[in-house]
A and B are shown apart, each in its own frame.
Chain A
Amino acid sequence: MKLKKLQVFFLFFLFLTPGILVAQTAEEIIAKHIEAHGGAEKWDKVEALKITGRFTAFSLEKNFTSYKTKCGAYYSDLFLGEKHVFEGFNGKCGWTIDPWQEIEYARNINSSETNVFKQKAEFFTPFLNYKKKGHQVEYIGKENVDGDEMYVLKLTREDGKSEKWYLNTKTYFEYKCEAPWVDFAQPVPAEMYFDDFREVDGIIVPFFIERTFWQRDRITQIESVELNPKIDKSLFAMPKRKEISKLAFMEGDWDVKLEFMGRRGTYQERGSTESCIKFASTNLLQEQISYENGFPNKLSINFTYDAGTQKYRIAAFNDFASTFDMFQGELKDNVLVMEDTQVSYSDKANPTRMCRQFTYTQIDNNQFTVENKVSTDEGKTWKPQARLTYTRKTENTLSKK
């Protein structure tokens, strides 16, 4: 009986041993790798990096600037050939302005790009605090690459995508990495090569990084690395499109005075309500407002800018009537006029239809007025119906709420 127990224990030990050894080996390699990069203690003091240098794409070399933070945020201003590209990532979501895709404004990145931005956001090596980041590492073995012996480590990120890292067995520096990449937003496998390791205030980083995928070749030649620079966090946020930014005066929380046109032809106050207006995307400003004019009305109003017609558009959904309406207009001399005279839902002309107009006036940072008018002659003449005066909530009114 004792012998059997001993046998079972022995077999169990044998079963476990290689795993323990492998784990130790990977840990040891990573520890020496981090040490080669200056050591964990020095890296722990690094909250952010500013990296500048020259970036080559399509054989054209241009300046670039990148920022990276410890929490995984990343921003870069670079040229891809002749085209000026901007990229931002807050650690979870990212955006890019990439004229190569014939999109001149910021767009959200897809899942493959998100993985790439996570790679770009790393402080050079992904093995720094890799467990905290949720990466898993597996030691594959040794391999000869370009005449030098390498430790091969497989790193798997939280999203399940994995990379193969080749670390020089003599220096413990990374030499090569095989990782998923993107080309014009489409996933492609890439190879990266690292060279020219230099010390910057005690940490060691590669000043030469070459990346190849398909027939593409990208070279990053770093010229300076600044530790813990001051960073404006708004850099990482998706920038608004230029035209929709002109409506930024609306963004915020508002007290709204309601006035409706009485039978005597004068406005009569009918209480007040609240409105919340926020940018939901690069070209989308959304307002939520509810009020009572006999019946409860709850409106969801979406403002966008259409580059084709060079006009602003409103798509408004009225919860009470369960109707959806569209308006189009322009911002001129600090007055935004939106109307539905150009919008028709019928194949036939309807001379008796009622058109509506919303005029945004008296615009400043803390107040604006919206006047609603109607027309039964296709916009030749307009009759006022309602007036909403928006006053920005103060700290006090916000906290009361």
Chain B
Amino acid sequence: MKKTNLFFTICAILFSALLNHAHSQEVPSQEWNQFRGANRSGSADNVDLTSFTDKEPKLVWKKKLGDAFSELTIAGGNIYTMTSERKDSITGDEFIAAFDEKTGDEIWRTRVDNMFFDTFGDGPRSTPAIGEKNVYSLSSYGKLSANSKEDGKTLWQVDFMKEYGSKVPRWGFSSSPVIVGNNIIVEVGGTDSRAFMAFDKSTGKEVWQKGEGIATYNSPVHGKINDKECIIFANGRKVYSLTTAGDTLWTYNSPISNPTGMPIVFDGNKIFISAVRNPGFIVLEVNNNKAKEISRGTSMKNDYSSSIYYNGYVYGFHVAALQCISVKTGEKKWTKRGYGKGSLIRIGDQLLVLSDKGKLIQVKATPDAYTELGNIQAIDGKSWTAPSFANGKIYLRNLTEMACYELK
């Protein structure tokens, strides 16, 4: 081999190695394609965020949106969410809508139901789930819809009140559907053992039905317990674990009544469930398809905001105090007041906390002490919707508008 050839060969190998190295450093594309993110835990891993004080989040856009509390779901360069718009003081429409992730501009909106009016805030509470081609949403008056992601065209719609005798809860149907294989699984709250149902995502046809209970505000968890895939419903005072085919694995009569926050599955076989009334929280351990309460405490009472589990600790809003507790002992590690009834997500080893008045606070996810890394007044007004995170950007909404901030 000539010296020149050898030189080029070495250069090529080095260049190739450099390219591969650069590629391995690239963060994979992240999506927030359903309620509480990709795994419904309110968390995204493999992201290192810079401190807000080192690099202040940059506003990319802010847009008027219409009334709703639905989370913003993000996939394929688009944002999908629910919203509503008044016609007059007593009538209006509820929509599923798509927006450009880069600009916040509306791409399409499709009416799914009548508008839900409420003194504490109008509009839908449920968050849509994004599939490959379609987006699936549940309206405030119990209409499950499939709409084309491309143009918003309604492909099918099922009316829970009409078809299954469901009754509209005080705050409207609020459970967020989950996509499992070819099915959409959701709390229906219907009569005749139709508390939870699965629908074929292509046709909307019933696949299975299970359970007794009215429509509440809890969303199904899809995960693995003891390596078995399952769906967890916390409805009223009962916890159900079902196979994806709708068979009952186990049920548990819970002292926690009507939790709104998402149950958290951790350590492979444990479930943390919290609600605002006593006892506050319980931890269930599941072995051989039997659930047993292994601890309970009053140190974490989640109202409508879901907690985060991270490395043995739960971070969440204990009514209106941001708090960290040991999931084993319930011991309170730290408390921070002043954020009202906010919400939070975890990005890497940091918590991104949104106060109920739109302040975004970056906090270390550590039990050692409350450690704030910075904050910005990101959005104004009543902000009860948890943030969403995708591709280095955080997406926020208050009751009437949404905003996008570049974090990296």
Query: Chain A residues with Cβ under 8 A from B337's Cβ?
Result: 193, 195, 210
Nearest CB in chain A to that of B317: its residue: A217
Q: Within residues 326 to 376 of chain B, which ones have a CB less than 8 A from any CB in chain A?
A: 332, 334-335, 337-338, 340-341, 356-357
Query: Chain B residues with Cβ under 8 A from A219's Cβ?
Result: 338, 340
A357 CB, min distance to chain B CBs, angstroms = 41
Q: Within residues 288 to 315 of chain B, which ones have a CB less than 8 A from any CB in chain A?
A: 301, 303
Query: Chain B residues with Cβ under 8 A from A193's Cβ?
Result: 337
Query: Chain A residues with Cβ under 8 A from B119's Cβ?
Result: 81-82
B32 CB, min distance to chain A CBs, angstroms = 23
Q: Does B147 contact A (CB under 8 A)?
A: no
Q: Given A59-B356, A215-B276, does the pair A210, B320 have CB atoms closer than 8 Å?
A: yes
Q: Given A58-B120, A59-B382, A217-B319, does the pair A210, B357 have CB atoms closer than 8 Å?
A: no
Contact B382 A217, beta carbon cutoff 8 Å = no
Q: Does B84 contact A (CB under 8 A)?
A: no
Q: Does B384 contact A (CB under 8 A)?
A: yes
Query: Chain B residues with Cβ under 8 A from A217's Cβ?
Result: 319-320, 340-341, 356
Which of B303, B321, B381 is within 8 Å of A215, CB to CB?
A: B303
Q: Does A13 contact B (CB under 8 A)?
A: no
Q: Does A351 contact B (CB under 8 A)?
A: no
Q: Given A81-B119, A212-B320, A214-B276, does the pair A60, B382 have CB atoms closer than 8 Å?
A: yes
Query: Chain A residues with Cβ under 8 A from B301's Cβ?
Result: 215
Which of B319, B335, B384 is within 8 Å of A59, CB to CB?
A: B384
B305 CB, min distance to chain A CBs, angstroms = 11
Q: Does A146 contact B (CB under 8 A)?
A: yes
Nearest CB in chain A to that of B301: its residue: A215
Contact with B along A173-194 (1 / 0, CB 8 A): 0000000000000000000010
B18 CB, min distance to chain A CBs, angstroms = 50
Contact B357 A56, beta carbon cutoff 8 Å = yes
A207 CB, min distance to chain B CBs, angstroms = 12
Nearest CB in chain A to that of B341: its residue: A217
Q: Does A267 contact B (CB under 8 A)?
A: no
Q: Given A212-B319, A215-B303, does the pair A59, B338 have CB atoms closer than 8 Å?
A: no
B333 CB, min distance to chain A CBs, angstroms = 9
Separation of A175 and B47 alpha carbons in the complex (Å)? 38
Contact with B along A119-155 (1 / 0, CB 8 A): 0000000000000000000000000001100000000
Q: Does A61 contact B (CB under 8 A)?
A: yes
Contact with A along B254-296 (1 / 0, CB 8 A): 0000000000000000000000110000000000000000000
Count A-B pairs with CB separation below 8 Å.
Answer: 45
Most central of A56, A60, A217 by chain B CB within 10 Å: A217
Q: Does B41 contact A (CB under 8 A)?
A: no
Q: Given A59-B382, A146-B335, A193-B337, does the pair A215, B319 have CB atoms closer than 8 Å?
A: yes
Q: Does A382 contact B (CB under 8 A)?
A: no
Contact with B along A45-60 (1 / 0, CB 8 A): 0000000000010111
Separation of A320 and B206 alpha carbons in the complex (Å)? 78
Contact with B along A353-391 (1 / 0, CB 8 A): 000000000000000000000000000000000000000
Q: Given A58-B120, A60-B382, A61-B357, does the pair A210, B276 have CB atoms closer than 8 Å?
A: no
Nearest CB in chain A to that of B398: its residue: A59
B321 CB, min distance to chain A CBs, angstroms = 8
Separation of A193 and B335 alpha carbons in the complex (Å)? 12
Nearest CB in chain B to that of A218: its residue: B320
Number of interface residues, chain B, beta carbon within 8 A? 22
Query: Chain B residues with Cβ under 8 A from A81's Cβ?
Result: 119-120
Q: Given A56-B357, A59-B357, A215-B319, does the pair A210, B383 have CB atoms closer than 8 Å?
A: no
Q: Does A317 contact B (CB under 8 A)?
A: no
Separation of A195 and B321 alpha carbons in the complex (Å)? 14
Q: Does A208 contact B (CB under 8 A)?
A: yes
Q: Given A58-B382, A59-B382, does the pair A208, B120 have CB atoms closer than 8 Å?
A: no
Separation of A208 and B339 alpha carbons in the complex (Å)? 12
Which of B120, B332, B383 is within 8 Å of A146, CB to CB?
A: B332
Contact A59 B341, beta carbon cutoff 8 Å = yes
Contact B340 A56, beta carbon cutoff 8 Å = yes
Separation of A58 and B321 alpha carbons in the complex (Å)? 15
Contact A59 B303, beta carbon cutoff 8 Å = no
Contact B383 A59, beta carbon cutoff 8 Å = yes
Contact A147 B357, beta carbon cutoff 8 Å = no
Separation of A217 and B277 alpha carbons in the complex (Å)? 14
Nearest CB in chain B to that of A58: its residue: B120
A341 CB, min distance to chain B CBs, angstroms = 37
Query: Chain B residues with Cβ under 8 A from A215's Cβ?
Result: 276, 301, 303, 319, 341
Query: Chain B residues with Cβ under 8 A from A195's Cβ?
Result: 337-338
Contact with B along A196-216 (1 / 0, CB 8 A): 000000000000101010110
A135 CB, min distance to chain B CBs, angstroms = 27
Separation of A208 and B340 alpha carbons in the complex (Å)? 13
A219 CB, min distance to chain B CBs, angstroms = 7
Pairs across A and B, CB under 8 Å, 27 listed: A56-B340, A59-B340, A59-B341, A59-B356, A59-B382, A59-B383, A60-B381, A61-B357, A81-B120, A82-B119, A146-B332, A146-B334, A147-B334, A193-B337, A212-B319, A212-B321, A214-B277, A215-B276, A215-B301, A215-B319, A215-B341, A217-B319, A217-B320, A217-B340, A217-B341, A219-B338, A219-B340
List 6 other contacts, CB 8 Å, given A56-B357, A59-B382, A147-B334: A58-B120, A58-B382, A59-B384, A146-B334, A215-B319, A215-B341
Using CB atoms and an 8 Å cutoff, list the residues of chain B in contact with chain A: 119-120, 276-277, 301, 303, 319-321, 332, 334-335, 337-338, 340-341, 356-357, 381-384
Give me the 9 closest cross-chain CB pairs, A-B, nearest first: A217-B320, A59-B356, A215-B276, A59-B382, A215-B303, A146-B335, A212-B319, A217-B341, A212-B320
